[in-house]
Amino acid sequence: MPKSTDPQEQRALVDRLTAACGGSYSPKVRRRFFISGPQWAASYQGQALFHAPTRGPIQPAEVIERLAEIGIGWWTTHDTDIISTGQLMTSKQDQILAGIEQALKKNGVKCSMVTGETFFHPVWAASPAAEQPEVRAYARQRLENVVEIAHKLGAQFIVYWPGTLGYQFQGVVDEGLMLRRYAEEINAACGKDHEIARATGGSTKRHCLEAKPFEPQAELILPSTDAMLAFINSGLLTHPEMVGVNPEYLHELMWGSAPRAALARALVAGKLWHFDINDGYRLKHDVDIGIGLINPLDWLNVLVLLRSHGYDGPFNLDFKPPRTTSNYGVFKVSFPSAVDRFITLWEIAGEAIADPIIQEATKALEAGAGPLESKDADAIFEANKELWTLHELIAHRLVQILLGLHRGRTFVNLNA
Ligand code: 3MF
Ligand code: MG
Ligand code: MG
């Protein structure tokens, strides 16, 4: 039987083994990246449909302080993560925001994004684009208020994850009408943004739509980033130029797609403005695991794409610390290790881009080998067939770079 660890000694054990892992970056290095820590991720208590909370509550000021210590320079929040539904749009809101501004300033942290919670409160049971005009009028006020909060806290980005914009039964709502109604709310938010920007001489925000294929509803009306791009270009928005997307890695994986391809489609549309980073499994629910714990190779490839296209928006750590992690562990292990895996993968992506073998192979593939303008398919195939083996070689090379094998790491014991 291994020796049991006294509860008083468990933190010391976690500290010692965390240090023994090595591979961590200093807060100064971590702050160089546009990485943001969500209030809701840090304060998630582990509750779910079948799960009671395993962690105690934590106040926003403390979250901001802990993120600052780790070296996470940006903070993101839902309106109701910091202001209860009843206090929104009252003088209590101003008071709370003043406290938040103070905490941010004191810790050298900036608010990069504010988002409206339009999924949790019972009022959203039929979605923020429900049939009832009073629900929608309330939704518009809520979104306009989010814009006000964003201006107040100096956030550049606003995210909309509608959550319940969907249904359990088809045939009950008219999807076309619902899309129009949802557009009216986004239009109201963009209008408010223009109004505030004009009044204050500030600039307007980047409004980013986030999709999830299912959960909490069985079917969603805007289930993917592609659907959001189509919605932006549908003609229903009065300010499509102000609206982009916030894909979430796992949300794309959940419906079985290649997240990298979804990101590429947003990139070429010029709409990839914000990115929720995490990890998980295909065709399962939203497990929100920390980046790189499940699909490090896919993550490497995602970051190669983003680096190659010069993506310079935020990387928002939208994950959920697991229920088995304590309040202490959230800031000792969860957040720092997620940031460090991100930075390492980012650096490895840089290595992959600069790798002479991948570069030479890619150049050769792009140069091709057949006669141009030929109408002879067989001749084109014959001319290129040896070249195309390089696809598999590049895939192998990327795994080598991920595992450090290109630096000569081999398992000698097995070779002996
Ligand atoms: C749900 C999510 C949300 C959104 C958030 C931002 C709670 O799966 O990912 O996180 O990211 O609402 O608007
Ligand atoms: Mg998200
Ligand atoms: Mg999610």
pLDDT, residue 410, reads 79
Statement to judge: residues 265 and 371 lie in one domain: no
pLDDT(229) > 90: yes
Average confidence (pLDDT) over 262-274? 98
Statement to judge: residues 365 and 268 lie in one domain: no
3-state secondary structure of 160: strand
Structure tokens at 231: 């919605």
Q: Which of 267, 207, 270 shows the shortest CA–CA distance to 238?
A: 207
Q: Which of 285, 282, 251 shows the shortest CA–CA distance to 266?
A: 251
Are 401 and 351 in contact, with CB atoms under 8 Å apart? Answer: yes
Cα 287 to ligand 1 centroid, rounded to whole Å: 12
Is residue 17 assigned to a domain?
Answer: no
**212 CA closest ligand 1 atom index:** 8
Statement to judge: residues 149 and 213 lie in one domain: yes
Statement to judge: residues 373 and 325 lie in one domain: no
> Of the residues 44, 77, 113, 115, which should be mutated to test ligand 1's pocket, given the most ligand atoms within 8 Å of the CB?
115
Name residue, tokens 């899309």: 179
Statement to judge: residues 41 and 127 lie in one domain: yes
Statement to judge: residues 266 and 367 lie in one domain: no
Name residue, tokens 């505030």: 196
Average confidence (pLDDT) over 273-282? 98
Cα 161 to ligand 1 centroid, rounded to whole Å: 6
Average confidence (pLDDT) over 302-309? 98
Statement to judge: residues 107 and 219 lie in one domain: yes
CA-nearest residue, atom 10 of ligand 1: 318
For residue 22, count CB atoms less than 10 angstroms from its CB and return exposed for 0-12, middle for 13-18, buried for 19 or more: exposed
Cα 248 to ligand 2 centroid, rounded to whole Å: 5
Strands 166-167 and 219-220, bridge-based pairing? antiparallel
pLDDT, residue 414, reads 61
Are 341 and 292 in contact, with CB atoms under 8 Å apart? Answer: yes
pLDDT(183) > 60: yes
Name residue, tokens 């403390």: 62
User: 316: left (phi > 0), else alpha (psi -120 to 50), else beta?
Assistant: beta
pLDDT(416) > 80: no
Q: Which of 136, 144, 126 shows the shortest CA–CA distance to 205?
A: 144
Is residue 162 assigned to a domain?
Answer: yes
Are 243 and 270 in contact, with CB atoms under 8 Å apart? Answer: no
**Ligand 1: which residues within 6 Å by Cβ?**
40, 115, 159, 161, 210, 212, 248, 276, 286, 318
Amino acid letter, 233:
N
Q: What percent of the chain has pLDDT over 70?
A: 99
Statement to judge: residues 244 and 382 lie in one domain: no
Cα 303 to ligand 3 centroid, rounded to whole Å: 19
> Of the residues 318, 319, 320, which should be mutated to test ligand 1's pocket, given the most ligand atoms within 8 Å of the CB?
318
pLDDT(1) > 90: no
Is residue 139 assigned to a domain?
Answer: yes
Statement to judge: residues 344 and 374 lie in one domain: no
pLDDT, residue 341, reads 98
Statement to judge: residues 302 and 342 lie in one domain: yes
Tell me 4's DSSP state: P
How much is the pTM? 0.97
Return the ligand number nearest the Cα of 119: 1
Is residue 19 assigned to a domain?
Answer: no
**115 CA closest ligand 1 atom index:** 13
Statement to judge: residues 289 and 369 lie in one domain: no
pLDDT, residue 16, reads 98
pLDDT tens column, 190-228: 999 999 999 999 999 999 999 999 999 999 999 999 999
Structure tokens at 172: 């009950």
Looking from the CA of 48 toward its CB, the CA atoms found within 13 Å total 13
Give the CATH number, domain containing residue 139.
Answer: 3.20.20.150
Structure tokens at 17: 């083994």
Is residue 130 assigned to a domain?
Answer: yes
Q: Which of 12, 16, 18, 10 shows the shortest CA–CA distance to 70?
A: 18
Cα 89 to ligand 2 centroid, rounded to whole Å: 25
Cα 348 to ligand 1 centroid, rounded to whole Å: 28
Full residue range of the structural domain in which residue 254 is found: 26-353
Residues in Cβ contact with 333 at an 8 Å cutoff, skipping those fewer than 6 apart: 14, 18, 325
Distance between first and last Cα of the chain = 34
- What residue ranges in 237-312 does DSSP mark as E strands? 243-245, 275-276
pLDDT, residue 415, reads 57
- Average pLDDT of the chain is 97
CA-nearest residue, atom 12 of ligand 1: 161
pLDDT(130) > 70: yes
Number of domains in the chain: 2
**276 CA closest ligand 1 atom index:** 11
| Of 407 and 29, more confident | 29
> Of the residues 146, 276, 288, which should be mutated to test ligand 1's pocket, given the most ligand atoms within 8 Å of the CB?
276
Return the ligand number nearest the Cα of 161: 1
Q: Which of 365, 256, 323, 279 shows the shortest CA–CA distance to 44?
A: 323
Q: Which of 288, 326, 315, 331 shows the shortest CA–CA distance to 64?
A: 331
Provide the annotated active-site residues: 78, 81
Return the ligand number nearest the Cα of 288: 3
